[in-house]
Amino acid sequence: MQDYTKHRDENSRDELWIVEHPPVFTLGRNGKQAHILDAGNIPVIPIDRGGQVTFHGPGQLVIYFLIDLKRRKLGVRQLVTYIEDSIVKFLASHQVVANSDPKAPGVYVNKKKIAALGLRISKGCSTHGLSLNVDMDLSNFKRINPCGYKGLEVTQCKNVGVNLSLEEVAQALTHQLITFFPQAEGV
């Protein structure tokens, strides 16, 4: 992501990268080590996104946004809102009521976090993105203060009645993001 953003120019295509990570804790630029309660044998990787600490692992959908915000005339808050609203709409299409919280970016179902966001903007372009818990081992979130919030509970699509595979969620959410995203051509 860093290399792509560093070398991109005004003609570079915007991209969405869809991945699934092995177990890892990531600590944002302003992240506090104190929010890692017990990493155990899971690596802790300091990264250049915003936010605190989160867990990534099998069964979690991660989508990275390599978007030229200047070209699209988007601000960071607008990008965050588009991402959150797309996740909320995806969940609503499966009869799940979800919401975002401007004071704590991400998406919540019954006050439990189902999706986290962490972005970095460099040269007017975004990197990093969202993680949506689909069908994973949630116990690793108890080894941290998720997103820097002590006692924050997390949930996943499977637990709220969205019984789709990771690939099916990736396809549906990507479609929702592209449909919802302004000037979506070229993403």
Residues forming the active site: 147
How many Å apart are CA 64 and CA 174, to the nearest integer? 11
Alpha carbons within 13 angstroms on the beta-carbon side of residue 80 total: 19
How many Å apart are CA 170 and CA 146, to the nearest integer? 23
Question: Which residue, among 19, 96, 104, 108, has the nearest Cα to 59 in the 3D structure?
Answer: 19
Q: Which residue has the tokens 């979800």?
A: 98
Torsion over CA: 33, 133, 157, 89 (sign): positive
The total of other beta-carbon atoms located within 10 Å of residue 131's CB is 27
Which secondary-structure segment (H or E) carries 80? helix 76-92
Q: Is 117:84 a contact under the CB 8 Å cutoff?
A: yes
How many Å apart are CA 3 and CA 1, to the nearest integer? 5
